[in-house]
Structure 1
Amino acid sequence: MKNSPYAGKLATSAMLVDVPKLIADYYAGIPDLAVPAQRVMFGTSGHRGSSLERSFNEWHILAISQAVCDYRAWQGINGPLFLGLDTHALSIPASASALEVLAANGVDVMLAHNDEFTPTPAISLAILTYNRGRRSGLADGVVITPSHNPPDAGGFKYNPPNGGAADTQVTAWIEARANALITSGLNGVKRMPHEQAMRASTTHRYDYLNAYVDELDQVIDMTAIRAESIRMAVDPLGGAGVHYWGRIAERYRLDLTVLNTQVDPTFRFMSVDWDGKIRMDPSSPFAMQSLLSRFEHDHSYDIAFACDTDHDRHGIVTKSAGLLPTNHYLAVAIDYLFQHRPLWSSEMSIGKTVVSSEIINRVGSKLDRRVLEVPAGFKWFAEGLHDGILGFCGEESAGATFSRIDGTVWTSDKDGITAALLSAEITARTGMDPGEIYAKLASELGAPVGGRIDAVATPVQKKKLSNISAQQLQCGELAGEQIQHIFTNAPGNNAAIGGVKVVTANGWFAARPSGTEDIYKIYAESFRDEEHLQRILLDAQAIVDLALNA
């Protein structure tokens, strides 16, 4: 798709969200469930929407919060609920609405000290820390965040006692209950005034920031980074970890410069993404333009990184390769960790999503480690991380987490902070930046080139694609190569991928319907060259279109 002429440039005043209107519409808008986009819908990481489109309003949050309370009662979850929020404008009113319901239901809620913004990994860590060794009275959590999405977006994510994003069975229950409550005009929603909820005996404070920062040396070799005097720069992109980085530098005596400490719900300091929208995506070279330009002209740093708004995603900037593509860094991180964590079990596996690069599989083979390939969504990794089966998990959209140095679980949700700091540890202990290490891996294992295209599809065709079978694909070859495998269920856990993946010796494609637009997405990769990639993409669209129109 064609890039906007504004891509990579600072946002103009005309692009900035009208925050007062956004908040007013949050309270005034009432969703119409006859409009599918206005229903409560949990995607791969919670319910997301905008008050401007009546897809994220107070009614949604009141209903979802009550549904969470009902789910907790049904499941016997009666420990504290850790509640966090990011820096999006809608997060503060949504957090207030959620507390009013949680308090009225008698839930012990843990709010951040000093009303600090809360990264997603800090919530996951808090849940796991509280639940360690417990069999009853377990804690869970809620993160109010739409992740890296534009400034007009809001989001609500529920994390059960395993600390990760809730799986589809849990979210389907909460989604159905929330929509029923909205249909009833919120009849059945318990609620108390916000001031009363803040004073309730069940409302507590929790120091997420120091609880998280003080344990980081159990995950990252801070001594190596400090000993080699690695010079780091970070841009929090105006996100929830904005005050964490200074504390990390102070606590571990690191040469770490925080380049941007601004928090502004319009995110006016961002360069806009490929489509002309403001999006706090650390994997996008357009959104990362400010940091890339700074790093290119200021040679005082060895490595730089950024995280998205709730700090569950990372972007790594190296001297050798600039902004390192997500899949490249995942491969490097895996290769490094499984060779530099001697206390990790020899049975620990690698988790990846079906649309992540095949080079991860090749790194896994090199390391003699099993690769568990699952559908899109980090929720599929939560149990494996929690139980110590998975040592590292990553997805193509720049989310990753990994075990502590001793092999026990750190977080079971994505952690952009540790993924970023790992790049400094890698540089310190190998003498090479991650870009240089990836170049060596690509020379040894093959250098994949990847791409994605969007194709038009009707709602009926999208539904057909999400339920497609291997037998419906009438093909034996892809881009001149014999097809080896056709997957409609992920090989790692046999869960439906909501589409199809086709694999040959030197390439693959995966096709999935969009959850928000009348299109389907084709991801592809070639271990030959760009020409071969384009042939795969063309053949893929022809194969899928034939099946959808049959």
Structure 2
Amino acid sequence: MIRFGTDGWRDIIAENFTYANVRAVAQAHAQYLLAQGAQRVVIGYDTRFQGPNFARVAAETLAANGLEVLLATAYVPTPVLSFAVVHLEAAGGVMITASHNPPLYNGYKIKGAYGGSATPEIAAGIEAELTRLRPTPAWNPEKNPIRGFDVRKAYYAALDRVLDLEVLRAYRGVIYHDAMGGAGAGWIEGYVKHAKLPVEVRAVHGVPHPLFYGVNPEPIPQNLESLSAVLATEQDPVFGTVTDGDADRVGAVTAGGHFFNSHQIFAVLLKHLHDRGLRGRVVKTVSTSTLINLLTARLGLDLEETPVGFKYITDAVLRGQSDPDQTVLIGGEESGGLAVRGHLPERDGILNSLLLLEAVARSGKSLGALFADLEADTGFRHFYDRNDLHLEAGFDKDAFMAHAASWTELAGDPVREVMTRDGVKLALASGAWALLRASGTEPLVRVYVEASSPEAQRALLEEATSRVRAFR
């Protein structure tokens, strides 16, 4: 069974993510592209097991259908693949990656001609083609050759146009980068060398590793013990940036080994871009901190809230490209994906890592101090955590969601409002909230909680977790 989630198709290698199924998805993709009059497509892959071979299978299938196919000559971050779609004037792109998912997964991410996640319309169109697959023609390498591409220099030049190089070139300090063994390995160091920045980049897990050094390649605390230990003895404003398996998401760890979560990163970058004089709308998913709402209002900016899935943020950014009144300053999600004005309608962990460095360089303050200023300005204290609960066989996710929507209190905090735009989000009387959402690609329920004190946050998360586990 092939099911599309929030960003393409992901599945377990050798179980459902097989050469045969990759060919099927690529054939459906080819049929969709040809129906749109497409001629060229670009393909990339990350450092996962069999990545180059799965990419080759997709490339041969697309080429067999008469499309001009350009295949990355080495592993690339997803944002670089998205950049290549635009730079090479392709009609679409394919990234073979499962992003932050465990090492036993791989995936087929689909990119639009604009250089971003497939919109819901594109995804639906390809899914429809899966129901009416035509036989894949035999690939003739002489008639439809697959050519390589390398856009590193052009991508770095694109970052030059977004970053404040004057500020960065005046900053002399240290930044750590934990690539988690993924596709971001070497890319921040490469940019620093390209831009001639007087910054020392210290790599952690900077050698590609198909098993990501034994952790899931997601920038959350339990996966960052090594970076936290390294930073435990550092002093502010030194920090470490983290990119996930395909380097489209960003995380951070500050001096002393303290995790700096995606909500904090979102808030700091929002204020930093505003301080640079940039303006536009702010777009956030339902799983993102209330602090973003308060900060957006304080800065006099419009806010849009979407379901989880970066394709919805992509939609908003694309609307802004055709209507100046809808221009997006920054759009982001709880998982660390952020798009910023002047770049692609795409998450970019490389760019956002450098923007965090720029925020520190421009302000002369550490990330922790910058966020503390925002809490003081808005009067909001942010305490957040999340549990990913793996489900036993037979767990009925739909029935559980209907059950959760009937809750009238959580850990003694009355439910003020129930929102079901994506999962079940409970707005509580105290101002806290809890979101329960079933994954579309994995057998798990995610529980997200934000409250104004660590005690309340822990109580809400423990209670919600207990109720999920007790559900039958």
TM-score class, shorter? 0.7 to 0.9
Q: Kindly indicate whether residue 7 of structure 2 is the aligned counterpart of residue 45 of structure 1.
A: yes
* CA distance, structure 2, for counterparts of residue 394 and residue 516 of structure 1: 20
C-alpha distance 330-320 of structure 1, shift in aligned 2 (>3 A): farther
Q: What are the equivalent positions in structure 2 for 1:38-437 lying under 5 Å apart?
A: 39-52=1-14, 54-76=15-37, 78-112=38-72, 115-129=73-87, 139-178=91-130, 181=133, 188-192=135-139, 196-197=140-141, 200-201=143-144, 203-254=146-197, 255-259=199-203, 260-267=205-212, 270=213, 272=214, 278-281=215-218, 283-297=219-233, 302-319=238-255, 322-340=258-276, 342=277, 344-345=278-279, 348-386=280-318, 387-388=320-321, 389-404=327-342, 410-437=343-370
Q: Kindly indicate whether residue 468 of structure 2 is the aligned counterpart of residue 510 of structure 1.
A: no
Alpha-carbon distance, 1:377 to partner: 0.8
Q: Indicate conservation of the 8 Å contact 1:103/1:191, yes or no.
A: no
Q: Indicate conservation of the 8 Å contact 1:327/1:357, yes or no.
A: yes
Alpha-carbon distance, 1:320 to partner: 6.2
Q: Indicate conservation of the 8 Å contact 1:307/1:416, yes or no.
A: yes
* CA distance, structure 1, for counterparts of residue 258 and residue 285 of structure 2: 25
C-alpha distance 299-331 of structure 1, shift in aligned 2 (>3 A): closer
Alpha-carbon distance, 1:479 to partner: 5.4
Deviations 1:306-363 (A, max 9, x none): 21221101122222663312211211111221221x2x34xx1111111111111111
Deviations 1:504-547 (A, max 9, x none): 452111122233566533322112x233334544675799999x
Alpha-carbon distance, 1:368 to partner: 1.5
C-alpha distance 96-293 of structure 1, shift in aligned 2 (>3 A): same
* CA distance, structure 2, for counterparts of residue 299 and residue 522 of structure 1: 33
Aligned partner (choices 375, 384, 401) of residue 442 of structure 1: 375
Q: Kindly indicate whether residue 462 of structure 2 is the aligned counterpart of residue 533 of structure 1.
A: no
Higher deviation after alignment, 530-539 or 102-111: 530-539
* Secondary structure of 1:450 counterpart: strand
* CA distance, structure 1, for counterparts of residue 210 and residue 467 of structure 2: 44
* Secondary structure of 1:97 counterpart: helix
C-alpha distance 465-116 of structure 1, shift in aligned 2 (>3 A): same
* CA distance, structure 2, for counterparts of residue 469 and residue 371 of structure 1: 30
Deviations 1:101-160 (A, max 9, x none): 111111112223xx12121111222333455xxxxxx62111111112233321111112
Alpha-carbon distance, 1:87 to partner: 0.8
Segments of 5+ residues of structure 2 without an aligned counterpart are 322-326
Report the AA paired with residue 164 of structure 2.
D
Deviations 1:48-76 (A, max 9, x none): 12234x11000111000000011112233
Alpha-carbon distance, 1:173 to partner: 3.6
C-alpha distance 165-459 of structure 1, shift in aligned 2 (>3 A): farther
Deviations 1:452-502 (A, max 9, x none): 344968868422456x599x6363x5556564432222xxxxxxx144443
Alpha-carbon distance, 1:384 to partner: 2.0
Alpha-carbon distance, 1:416 to partner: 0.3
Alpha-carbon distance, 1:426 to partner: 0.7
Report the AA paired with residue 68 of structure 1.
H
* CA distance, structure 2, for counterparts of residue 431 and residue 238 of structure 1: 31
Higher deviation after alignment, 509-518 or 206-215: 509-518
* Secondary structure of 2:223 counterpart: coil
Q: Indicate conservation of the 8 Å contact 1:120/1:413, yes or no.
A: no
C-alpha distance 516-83 of structure 1, shift in aligned 2 (>3 A): closer
Q: Indicate conservation of the 8 Å contact 1:124/1:412, yes or no.
A: no
Aligned-residue CA RMSD (Å): 3.0
C-alpha distance 360-457 of structure 1, shift in aligned 2 (>3 A): farther
C-alpha distance 428-261 of structure 1, shift in aligned 2 (>3 A): same
| % identical equivalent positions | 28
* CA distance, structure 1, for counterparts of residue 413 and residue 210 of structure 2: 50
Alpha-carbon distance, 1:249 to partner: 1.6
Deviations 1:211-266 (A, max 9, x none): 11112121111221121223223232222232423321221112232525422324
C-alpha distance 402-355 of structure 1, shift in aligned 2 (>3 A): same
* Secondary structure of 2:275 counterpart: coil
* Secondary structure of 1:155 counterpart: strand
Higher deviation after alignment, 154-163 or 455-464: 455-464
Residue 452 (structure 1) aligns with: 386
Q: Indicate conservation of the 8 Å contact 1:90/1:153, yes or no.
A: no
Report the AA paired with residue 93 of structure 1.
N
Report the AA paired with residue 105 of structure 1.
N
Residue 462 (structure 1) aligns with: 397
* CA distance, structure 1, for counterparts of residue 29 and residue 169 of structure 2: 43
* CA distance, structure 1, for counterparts of residue 257 and residue 274 of structure 2: 23
